[in-house]
Amino acid sequence: MLSGNELQQAIADAQQGVRDLRKKMPRLDDDSIRVILSEARSHYAWTDKPVPDSMLRELYAITAAGATSMNTCPARFVFVTSESGKARLAKSVKEANLKKMMGAPVTVIIAHDLDFWQELPFLFPHDDRRHFFEGKTEHCESTAFRNATLQGAYMMIAARALGLDVGAMSGFSNEVVDEEFFKGTSLRSNFLCNIGYADESALFQKLPRFPFDTACSYA
């Protein structure tokens, strides 16, 4: 834990680092934005090209840098890649999604740890904030779910930035996943996401989105 001059220097270095990066790249170019969001697609079919472990580690490192409230970082990621793991996960998946999941090189279980707050002395060393959560079950659940959902979205965008394709899924039983993978732990599943290199021949046209005036307002 930093203190005194070391802490002040670390803060100054962090601030300057942000300024330097902003100056070097004020915004992403249009093609990069298309890749990660505006022209990105959810995929349903996959090639057999594998995703190496080194890339999954890089993917997590980028994802972990994303913001969460009080740096709680409640998400936990299970990369299901083995035949036995896929067979276990298949018990939870609805029939319409089974082929999508089984065909993907990787299916990630995005989960959250209800006991995330116990790690706050490491994650938020400036001050002991555990008392905000200890004994407050509903607050822990809402904080963990909200922030882990954000982290799952960060992972999807990070995967696209690394040249991977993604397809999130909610057509499964959280209860079955929790029983199969997280029994006896403080982890709970949120959603699944297939990751790999897509077979684009399964795509259909991009579906409409609401215009600004329908979805947005000022206050």
Q: Which residues contact 28 (CB under 8 A, 6 or more apart)?
A: 36
Residue 70 has pLDDT above 80, yes or no: yes
Residue 84 has pLDDT above 90, yes or no: yes
Q: Which CATH superfamily is domain 50-199 in?
A: NADH Oxidase (3.40.109.10)
> Structural domain boundaries of the chain?
50-199
Residue 3's pLDDT band, with cuts at 50, 70 and 90, is: confident
Evaluated on CA atoms 154, 160, 164, 166, the torsion sign reads positive
Confidence (pLDDT) at 213? 98
**Span 46-61, pLDDT tens digits:** 999 999 999 999 999 9
The helix (H) or strand (E) run that includes residue 89 is helix 83-90
Residue 174 has pLDDT above 80, yes or no: yes
Confidence (pLDDT) at 78? 98
**Span 102-156, pLDDT tens digits:** 999 999 999 999 999 999 999 998 889 999 999 999 999 999 999 999 999 999 9
Distance between CA atoms of 74 and 80, rounded to whole angstroms? 19
